[in-house]
């Protein structure tokens, strides 16, 4: 650095020649970094992973990326909005079942009935509520909209009654349990404990063909990147800041003239839509959807990944979800039976000692370098902020 340098390098590439309007918005360097980040992620998912991973591992990765989509939604609802939702399995399941019903009907034989219905033999014809799912024009939007509508209805009731904190967590978990009971109880039309299995085709493509499996993987990877872009926009918008304000001071926000219930509802509905989409894409990737995949235990596992990665950050939930899902597969192959304990231990350790998740280590390293500039510009980088030590946000 010489004395000639007119400005620190950090703003040198953001010259703002007019000099009139202060760069309130993070400038060109910031946008460039984001674009580079997305390009790196895309290269990793679309080029590196298919090259280095076997077909089997790639299909596992596809499954993990679906879990990561749920995690992105939980990051919004919980990390940003303070709503610890232990029942995302419900929305994941709604999306998954909607997709599986359509695929089963598309696969169905001459009678137009899915195989398991014929097997149980209680029904002469397709139940009324199955019929619309025969049309992809209904089923595909339904995978996302159905969870969103359910979340809207539930959230309207719950948030207006100011149910929050641990009570909200328990309520959302109970919903996951109720959904499982309902599915198992209606075995004749839902497949019961088995769920909807043997899904072989995906809009005319044979899912047993590795090429088509690879295509499904690409769809999933692309969707995840799109959801991340959407989430990034959301958390940097004014709404995103408002959501954090509601998380940290719901009553205060109310006195500023906002209805916190509506603010939370939006985040909850968005998270539900993401979980639904994840469920829908999970079905062609794995070939099955069943109550065991959407109940209380998987719902909690979704949250563990988010906590480990760092719930208030953009990438933390994704990386945490993939890492935990990967560890679960690898470790349970090697030490069957002990993974559950390891997972519980991991959760406790993270919550107790690293409440911001692994992302907070990264943030710690960058804080000194990055924040000085942001401070000068007036806006705090939302993603790099300390997260409260409390597990369940105080009511």
Q: Is 385 in the site for other proteins (CB under 8 A)?
A: yes
Q: Backbone phi, then psi, for 67, in 5-degree steps?
A: -60, -40
Site membership for other proteins, residue 20 (CB under 8 A): no
The residue among 172, 393, 125, 379 whose CA lies nearest residue 275 is 172
Quick one: which H or E segment has residue 262? helix 260-286
Tokens linked to 224: 């995840």
- Kindly state the smallest distance separating residue 380's Cβ from other proteins, in Å: 5
CB of 280 to other proteins, least distance (A): 25
Is residue 229 involved in binding other proteins (CB under 8 A)? no
Query: In terms of CB distance, is 26 or 136 closer to other proteins?
Result: 26
Site membership for other proteins, residue 389 (CB under 8 A): no
Nearer to other proteins, 25 or 57 (CB): 25
Distance CA 232, CA 239 (A): 12
Between 106 and 246, CB nearer to other proteins:
246
CA distance 76 to 90: 17
Contact 303, 176 (CB under 8 A): no
Count the neighbouring beta carbons within 10 Å of the beta carbon of residue 192. Answer: 16
Residue 75: CB minimum distance to other proteins, A: 16
Residue among 40 and 379 whose Cβ is closer to other proteins: 379
3-state SS assignment for residue 358: coil
Give whichever of 93 and 310 is closer to other proteins, judged by the CB atom. 310
**Binding span for other proteins by CB under 8 A among 9-17, 33-41, 179-187, 378-386:** 378-386
By the rule CB under 8 A, 254 interacts with other proteins: yes
Within 10 Å of residue 227's Cβ, how many Cβ atoms? 20
> Between 153 and 249, whose beta carbon lies closer to other proteins?
249
Out of 112, 375, 394, 395, point to the residue binding other proteins (CB under 8 A): 375
HSE (CB half, 13 Å, CA atoms) of 36? 6
Question: Considering the rule CB under 8 A, would residue 244 count as an interface residue with other proteins?
Answer: yes
Residue 6 in the binding site for other proteins (CB under 8 A): no
Query: Of 252, 249, 237, 390, nearest to 311 (Cα)?
Result: 390
Question: Which listed residue (123, 374, 391, 392) binds other proteins by CB under 8 A?
Answer: 374
Which tokens sit at 152? 């809207």
Site string for other proteins, 118-157 (x = CB under 8 A): ----------------------------------------
The percent helix, strand, coil of the chain (3-state, each to 5) is: 70, 0, 25
The H-assigned helical ranges of the chain are 9-12, 28-43, 49-52, 55-74, 88-107, 115-120, 136-160, 165-185, 187-190, 210-236, 238-248, 250-255, 260-286, 296-309, 316-334, 339-353, 359-377
C-beta of 135 vs 233, nearer to other proteins: 233
The verdict on 386 binding other proteins (CB under 8 A) reads: yes
Helix axes 316-334, 55-74, angle to 10 degrees: 130
24 forms part of the interface with other proteins (CB under 8 A): yes
Place of tokens 């929050």: 164
Interface pick for other proteins out of 117, 175, 253, 303 (rule CB under 8 A): 253
Identify the residue among 152, 167, 218, 239 touching other proteins (CB under 8 A): 239
* Under rule CB under 8 A, residue 259 binds other proteins: yes
Give the list of residues 6+ apart from residue 57 with CB closer than 8 angstroms, or none. none
What residues line the site for other proteins (CB under 8 A)? 21-22, 24-25, 233-234, 236-239, 241-242, 244-245, 248-249, 251-259, 374-380, 385-386
């Amino acid at each position: 650095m010489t004395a000639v340098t007119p400005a620190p390098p950090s703003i040198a590439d953001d010259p703002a020649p007019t000099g009139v309007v202060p760069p309130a918005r993070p400038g060109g360097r910031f946008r460039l970094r984001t674009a580079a980040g997305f390009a790196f992620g895309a290269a990793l998912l679309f080029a590196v992973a298919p090259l280095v991973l076997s077909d089997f591992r790639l299909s596992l990765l596809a499954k993990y990326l679906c879990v990561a989509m749920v995690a992105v939604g939980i990051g919004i609802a919980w990390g940003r909005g303070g709503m610890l939702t232990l029942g995302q399995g419900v929305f994941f399941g709604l999306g998954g079942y909607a997709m599986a019903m359509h695929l089963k009907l598309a696969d169905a034989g001459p009678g137009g009935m899915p195989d398991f219905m014929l097997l149980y033999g209680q029904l002469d014809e397709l139940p009324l509520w199955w019929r619309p799912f025969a049309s992809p024009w209904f089923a595909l939007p339904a995978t996302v909209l159905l969870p969103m509508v359910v979340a809207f209805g539930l959230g309207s009731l719950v948030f207006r009654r100011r149910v929050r904190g641990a009570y909200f967590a328990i309520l959302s978990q109970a919903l996951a349990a109720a959904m499982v009971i309902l599915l198992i109880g209606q075995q004749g039309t839902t497949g019961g404990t088995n769920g909807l299995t043997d899904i072989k085709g995906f809009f005319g493509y044979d899912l047993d063909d590795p090429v088509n499996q690879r295509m499904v993987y690409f769809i999933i990877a692309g969707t995840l990147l799109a959801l991340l872009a959407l989430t990034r926009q959301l958390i940097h918008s004014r709404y995103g800041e408002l959501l954090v304000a509601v998380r940290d001071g719901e009553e205060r926000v109310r006195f500023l003239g906002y209805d916190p219930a509506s603010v939370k509802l939006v985040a909850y509905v968005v998270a539900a839509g993401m979980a639904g989409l994840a469920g829908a894409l999970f079905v062609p990737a794995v070939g099955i959807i069943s109550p065991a995949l959407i109940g209380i235990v998987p719902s909690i596992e979704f949250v563990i990944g988010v906590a480990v990665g760092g719930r208030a950050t953009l990438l933390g939930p994704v990386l945490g979800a993939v890492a935990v899902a990967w560890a679960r597969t690898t470790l349970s192959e090697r030490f069957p039976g002990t993974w559950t304990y390891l997972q519980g231990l991991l959760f406790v350790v993270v919550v107790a000692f690293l409440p911001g998740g692994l992302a907070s280590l990264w943030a710690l390293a960058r804080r000194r370098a990055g924040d000085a500039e942001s401070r000068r510009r007036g806006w705090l980088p939302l993603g790099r902020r300390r997260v409260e030590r409390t597990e369940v946000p105080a009511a």
